[in-house]
Structure 1
Amino acid sequence: MYLKFDKKENILIITLSGELDHNSAEEVRVKIDDRIDRDNIEKAVMDFSGVTFMDSSGIGAVIGRYKKLSNKGGRLCVAEPSKNVNRIFELAGLYKVIKNYNTVDEAVRCI
């Protein structure tokens, strides 16, 4: 799993590439939490365009970041999930609490 961080104004954009599974979820959690804490982030967009596979550990990583930001009064959304990842989000019911956007730019404008 590869992570890339960008900031647009006060919004952290996290671009994920590869598989978000039990092998990578802990590293993803640690790196994102570190960046959120270090830069005092309250709004974040997770770009899933490069994620090829996600399992329940990945769901846990996303929910954990959502809770972390929500506890600070912030927000998290996802953008550009692949067909397979989108299906996992739908089945898990994540879209009931986390907004999904077609593009990162749309997410940045709306968050």
Structure 2
Amino acid sequence: MKHAIYEVVDDRLVVHLPGEVDDHSSGRIQEETEKYLQGGGIRYMIFDFTNTSFMDSSGIGVLLGRYKRMKQLGGNVAVFGEDNRIKRILNISGIYQIMESLTK
């Protein structure tokens, strides 16, 4: 999967991330999620890492930016489907301090 896929379920926006979340894909993810937020009604954003094997600092930037934006709107952000490599990146970057992991 080269591009993120966006799915709205009730008041949740699920962002199925591509295989690589890097400088090339991050700007697009930021823009697309903003379009959904401007439509109103989104209270939760869930980033699905199931198909993601690589993420760099620009991906962390997207997560932080979307977290701040959702807080402005009174909503929240969570992550899901992260493998051990992505878990390590999220842990080191402090993302788990502000976002819940829905992965069991």
Q: What is the TM-score normalised by the length of structure 2?
A: 0.91
1:81 matched residue in structure 2? 82
Q: How many residues align?
A: 103
1:57 matched residue in structure 2? 58
Q: What is the TM-score normalised by the length of structure 1?
A: 0.85
Deviation at 1:39, TM superposition (A): 4.0
Helix, strand or coil for the counterpart of 1:81? coil
Q: Aligned equivalents of 1:29 and 1:8: distance in 2?
A: 19
Deviation at 1:17, TM superposition (A): 1.8
Q: Aligned equivalents of 1:22 and 1:8: distance in 2?
A: 28
What amino acid maps onto 1:49 in structure 2?
A: T
Q: Aligned equivalents of 1:8 and 1:57: distance in 2?
A: 26
RMSD of aligned C-alpha atoms?
1.3
Identity across matched positions, percent: 27
Q: 1:39-82 deviations in whole A, cap 9, x for unaligned?
A: 43121111111111001000000110011001111001000112
Listed as ranges, the gaps of 5+ residues in structure 2 are: none
1:42 matched residue in structure 2? 43
